[in-house]
Amino acid sequence: MNIKQVTLEQYNNKNYKSGNKYKKIVWYFINIFMFKTSLPFPSRLKVFILKLFGAKVGKDIVIKPNVNIKYPWFLTIGDNCWIGEEVWIDNLANVKIGHNVCLSQGSYILTGSHNYKKETFDLMLGEIMLEDGVWIGAKSIVCPNVVCKTQSVLSVGSVATSNLEPYFIYQGNPAIKKRKRNIQ
């Protein structure tokens, strides 16, 4: 019987275009020294730098220390958003964050995965949209192709593998709808 296996030596993502290689190199070092550091650089400075690299960023943004952003040119952030310590925005594809969104400590926004059904383990990408008023809890993960609808909540340590309905709280792995979000 001929049973196929994943052979990573066959992996090839040459079709993926993440941007100009010089821009990526410069961003790599700026990300390390300005974002992925414990030094509390002002959020305004970080927003200015993100905009220099092509991010679309609104006003009154808070970006805490130790944040990792893969490619700012694939990032849109609305007004009045908070990005907590150790957030990782692994945006190989577009990530759109609405207004008044909170990404709590250690949350992970993940736009890439691999096709485990192919021996070549092909890269698969999916955009992520976090609509207005979304709260992504600490140590939670939002997976590729997920839309977190307005005012939805992904509870601490949960994993969103499918869309979250508006005004609902989700919990678990995979995250399931637990109850209505009533804002007073």
Q: Is 167 contained in some domain?
A: no
* Count of the separate structural domains present in the chain: 1
Q: Which of 130, 127, 133 is nearest to 167 (CA)?
A: 133
What confidence tier does 127 reach under pLDDT thresholds 50, 70, 90? very high
Please determine, for residue 103, whether its predicted confidence score (pLDDT) is greater than 90: yes
Q: How far apart are CA 8 and CA 159, in angstroms?
A: 26
Q: Is 12 contained in some domain?
A: no
What confidence tier does 74 reach under pLDDT thresholds 50, 70, 90? very high
Q: Is 174 contained in some domain?
A: no
Q: Is 66 contained in some domain?
A: yes
Q: Is 40 contained in some domain?
A: yes
Q: Is 108 contained in some domain?
A: yes
What confidence tier does 48 reach under pLDDT thresholds 50, 70, 90? very high
Please determine, for residue 39, whether its predicted confidence score (pLDDT) is greater than 80: yes
Q: Is 89 contained in some domain?
A: yes
Over residues 13-23, the mean pLDDT reads 93
Residue range 148-163, pLDDT digits in tens: 999 999 999 999 999 9
Please determine, for residue 114, whether its predicted confidence score (pLDDT) is greater than 90: yes
> 101 is in which domain, residue-wise?
20-141
Residue range 161-176, pLDDT digits in tens: 999 999 999 999 999 9
pLDDT of residue 78: 98
pLDDT of residue 110: 98
What average pLDDT does the chain have?
Answer: 97
What confidence tier does 55 reach under pLDDT thresholds 50, 70, 90? very high
pLDDT of residue 2: 75
Q: Is 148 contained in some domain?
A: no
Q: Which of 101, 51, 41 is nearest to 75 (CA)?
A: 51
Residues 34 and 45: beta-carbon distance below 8 Å: yes
Q: How far apart are CA 117 and CA 76, in angstroms?
A: 32
Please determine, for residue 1, whether its predicted confidence score (pLDDT) is greater than 90: no
